[in-house]
Amino acid sequence: MGRHSCSVKQKLRKGLWSPEEDEKLCNYITNFGIGSWSSVPKLAGLQRCGKSCRLRWINYLRPDLKRGMFSQDEEDKIISLHQVLGNRWAQIAAQLPGRTDNEIKNFWNSSLKKKLMKQGIDPNTHKPLKENQIIKDEENCTIKTSMLQIPPLNEIANGQFTESKQVFDLLFVSDFQSNSNPSEYNSEVLAQYHDHQSEFENNQNYVFCSASNVTKLEHGQMTETDFGSSSTSRMSSSNSSNMCSNQNTAGIQINGMSENSEALSWDIENKMESLFQYPYIGIKNEELKSSPSHERDQLHGNSTSGDFMSNYPLSSLTEEFKWA
DNA sequence: AAACATCGCAACCGCTCCAAC
DNA sequence: CGTTGGAGCGGTTGCGATGTT
């Protein structure tokens, strides 16, 4: 059972806001700032609940709001971000100054969704409509999609895939495909990964890593590729908690990248934890909130060092996830 | 011109998270 | 450690505007 709606407790107004109410709220916040929302209605002389005031301010009255049509640039950004973040409207809105999560959500549902459908793209998966079905081949333990084919995990573990293929982080890929939602698919991959974990760790041909970097041992030499366009500053493998603050706005670094291959073996927990270090691949809001503001700015791409999209080209990213 | 359908947006609802107690 | 209440999020609803028949 959920809580009672705040407007049920007392006889409070609901529905559209009148210009007078807007003015009262605006005046109050201009003069006294935002303190406790629950006390705002009383202090501002409004017959509304605090929640309603908060929403009205955030979605409509805030002075830094950008009203009007979405630009092509904003539209592209929303689509790209949705591809990675799914329906995390607040996180998407954080990348679009002056736009609210509600506005973006409405724009997506009323316009962008249809636009993508017309282009033959599934708005949920961002894949071609007819090929978006994930086919799970139980027999040979192969997981396929239209865009990605992961070789059978047991074969990877056994070292049977010895050609120069890159092995991406399966958990990440799974998240990526399912719009960052932990899913049954994830559980399955996780379970398979668990089954062969020790074998993976001993297999010198393949290295599982996260998001931006793919590393492979070839003839004892470490090679790496980087999805981001920026130079990479390497992370300390023993200090993953500081990853956010250390990374550049490309935002994604391999955990424990070093000349020592041992550093590249993680357990599942570390992998999952490290996945959540990445702001654009499902970082928890709370982590952002608890970061100092300049770090949040960096994470949100607000820093002057470059914005998110330019440092993290999604088109090339999805391209990189192809197996062949 | 009226009735009906569709659309887009603002606001609400129900839920989770988390800090304070 | 459990409870409570505020903040915030995503999904949904309601309603006015606009289009169609």
Query: Which residues of chain A are under the pLDDT cut of 50?
Result: 1-5, 7-9, 131-193, 195-324
In this prediction, residue A104 carries a pLDDT of: 92
Q: Is A55 helix (H, G, I), strand (E, B) or coil?
A: helix
pTM score over 0.85: no
Q: Is A320 helix (H, G, I), strand (E, B) or coil?
A: helix
Structure letter (DSSP) for residue A226: E
Residues 6+ apart with CB under 8 A from A168: A208, A209, A214, A321
In this prediction, residue A10 carries a pLDDT of: 54
CB atoms within 10 A of CB A195: 14
Cβ of A13 near strand C (under 7 Å)? The reply is no
In this prediction, residue A284 carries a pLDDT of: 28
Residues 132-171 of A with CB under 7 A from strand C: none
Cβ of A107 near strand B (under 7 Å)? The reply is yes
Closest CA to A26 of A6, A47, A53: A53
Residues 6+ apart with CB under 8 A from A235: A243, A246, A247, A253, A254, A255, A256, A257
In this prediction, residue A78 carries a pLDDT of: 92
The separation, in Å, between residue A123 CA and nucleotide C19 C1' comes to 26
Reading the block at residue A161, the tokens are 């895939």
Q: Is A176 helix (H, G, I), strand (E, B) or coil?
A: helix
pLDDT per position as a tens digit, A194-217? 544 444 444 433 333 232 222 222
As a residue count, chain A comes to 324
The set of strand B positions with any atom below 7 Å of a protein CB reads: 7-19
Can you tell me which residue has the tokens 């009203």? Answer: A67
CA A183 – CA A173 distance, rounded (Å): 12
Q: Which nucleotide is nearest to A59 (CA to C1')?
A: B10
In this prediction, residue A39 carries a pLDDT of: 87
Q: What are phi and psi of A177, to 5 degrees?
A: -70, -35
Protein fold of A72-118 = Arc Repressor Mutant, subunit A (1.10.10)
Beta strands in chain A (DSSP E): 135-137, 142-144, 149-150, 213-218, 221-226
Cβ of A51 near strand C (under 7 Å)? The reply is yes
The separation, in Å, between residue A230 CA and nucleotide B11 C1' comes to 42
The separation, in Å, between residue A105 CA and nucleotide B5 C1' comes to 23
Cβ of A113 near strand C (under 7 Å)? The reply is no
CATH superfamily of A6-61: Homeodomain-like (1.10.10.60)
Give, in order, the Cα–Cα distances in Å from A248 to each of A11, A100, A225, A260, A275.
51, 25, 16, 23, 16
Q: Which nucleotide is nearest to A68 (CA to C1')?
A: B9
CA A155 – CA A139 distance, rounded (Å): 13
Q: What are phi and psi of A135, to 5 degrees?
A: -100, 120
Residue burial A152-189, b: 16+ Cβ < 10 Å; e: rest: bbeebbeeebeeeeebbbbbbbbbbbbbbeeeebbeeb
Do A72-118 and A6-61 fall under one CATH topology?
yes
Q: What are phi and psi of A253, to 5 degrees?
A: -130, 155
Give, in order, the Cα–Cα distances in Å from A78 to each of A75, A120, A155, A173, A302.
5, 18, 38, 20, 16
CA A267 – CA A237 distance, rounded (Å): 13
- Sketch the domain layout of chain A as residue ranges: 6-61, 72-118, 134-320
User: Which stretches of A33-133 are DSSP H helices?
Assistant: 40-44, 50-56, 72-85, 89-94, 101-107, 113-118
In this prediction, residue A64 carries a pLDDT of: 84
Burial class for A209, CB neighbours closer than 10 Å (0-12, 13-18, 19+): buried
